[in-house]
Structure 1
Amino acid sequence: MVYDEENHVSSVGLSEGVKNDIAEAIRVHSPIPEINIQLDLAEAYRVQHEITALRSPEGTDGIKAGVTAKAAQEYFGLEHALIASLYASSQHDAAASLPYVPGRKLECELAVRRIGKITG
């Protein structure tokens, strides 16, 4: 399914149905629906926070940086890295092992784990 501006966007962003579809795809590790919608960075981060709240109502455990390589930023037309949430329910113990899944790709990332509330 492809979501586009004609059918799935309100004046304040993505429809609740689209956000729920994205959150569910993230939760069950399936491909995220294709979205052909233009958002500025502030709108995109707002939608990201709304989807994170749907995906992880128990909260998050921290943040991560993505698209940190200059070449990747140029490829995607970005001027800086992006920030995303680490879902509390996706955390693994340090000694965890993951089963081999054909076709699964792993990406090494640096993550910051939040301990306690952030205020201010």
Structure 2
Amino acid sequence: MNPSQIPIRDIKPLLPIPDVSFYIFTALIAAGVLIVAAGTIYVWRRWHFGRKSDPRISWVKRLEQMDFSDAKRSAYLMTKYGRLLAEDKRRQEIMAQLLPKLERYKYKKRVPPLDEETKRFMKLFIEMSKDAL
């Protein structure tokens, strides 16, 4: 048979192939932006809230805001937070001297006002604790 005599079968046109590469590229860019944003937020929150998590800062603030006119409450607060804040040798020595002085202001219904020497020791301890932070 001659090639020109071959019967032509029905030749169909080319089918269009859907091009989704643009959508895949857009999805990858969006996922990358979300991952970078989530990582940035995580690092920022970790850094921002991590630096405020030191409880010693709040203890010193409570001692600074302590009302010296209420001797009983002052003695209890100073004992509680003073023991927690006495980390170095100097502050431990001051607390060792201060605790017996505070004993007369605790465990009683009515207590006398704080004497000046006890107030001075308490303020000295608070200042030393603030400087140590």
TM-score by length of 2: 0.20
Higher-Rg member (1/2)? 2
By percentage of residues, which structure has more helix?
2
By percentage of residues, which structure has more strand?
1
TM-score by length of 1: 0.22
